[in-house]
Amino acid sequence: MQHKENNRGQADTNMYQITRCRNCHRAIIDLDRMESVFKEFFEQTDFTNKQLARLGSTRAMPHHIFRVAIAGCPNSCSQPQIKDFALQGQAVPVVGEGCTDCGRCVAACPDQAISLAEQGPHIDRSLCLNCGKCAQSCPTGAIATGNIGYRVLRGGKLGRRPQLAQEVCSLTDEQGVLQWLQQTIDLLHREGQPGERLGTLLARIEKNDEKHST
């Protein structure tokens, strides 16, 4: 992939790529909005030219593209686990009054996190992924949607040594997502070797930290 420069010395091809899932009925977050928030961030921070400067070349390979994913819910159809930076929509279920014991929430939960007791539904929070399906399926509002936010992951990649992205925060807001993105790009451009993927850099830093703590 060759990146030409225009007459202002800027690259004609973006050095970032945003993948998003479709606007399906499971989407907890506004996918269109988050896509434009990311685009605005990369444009305003002149990411493409900074990334090319880090490479020391306008000849970029596909693995030099910074890959971002937006997933509307934890189903992760846009594969956030293998992207440099990604977010998933989250909705926390809140248990209230009025359960009629219909069992719809139990059937709807893909993670078997709900059991019904005399007092109503019980949610095992260690199993719950905050997907919002139980609240969507409850006809009485005995399970309702509480906090809505974003789970942020980073450092995923395929290639020679694939690795899954790691969660850096959960249930944050748009501002929190942008702070993590800025911190991540700063780290990549400050510490990353030319051409190094974010996931490789994070693994290298972790290894160094472990070496110095022993």
- Site for ligand SF4, rule CB under 6 A: 21-22, 24, 26-27, 71-73, 75-77, 93, 99-105, 108-109, 111, 113-114, 116, 121, 123, 128-134, 137-138, 140, 142-143
Residue 18's closest CA among 85, 89, 75?
85
Residue 73 vs 201, nearer CB to ligand SF4: 73
Please report how close the Cβ of residue 172 comes to ligand SF4 at its closest, in angstroms: 18
Q: Is the dihedral of CA 76, 79, 82, 85 positive or negative?
A: negative
Nearer to ligand SF4, 15 or 27 (CB): 27
Nearer CB in complex with ligand SF4: 89/199: 89
- 118 or 210: CB nearest ligand SF4: 118
Question: Closest approach of Cβ 177 to ligand SF4, in Å?
Answer: 16
For residues 144 and 132, what is the distance between their CA atoms, to the nearest angstrom?
A: 9
Q: Which residue minimizes CB distance to ligand SF4? A: 72
Structure tokens at 83: 């992207």
For ligand SF4, the closer of residues 25 and 211 by Cβ is: 25
In angstroms, give the least distance from the CB of 38 to ligand SF4: 16
DSSP calls for 158-204: -SSS-B--EEEEEEE-HHHHHHHHHHHHHHHHHHPPTT--HHHHHHH
Instruction: State the minimum distance, in angstroms, from the CB of residue 156 to ligand SF4.
Output: 15
DSSP annotation string for 31-68: HHHHHHHHHHHHHHTTHHHHHHHHHTSSB--GGGSEEE
Distances (CA, A) of 73 to 4, 20, 162, 204, 207: 37, 11, 23, 30, 32
Q: Smallest gap, in angstroms, from Cβ of residue 99 to ligand SF4?
A: 3
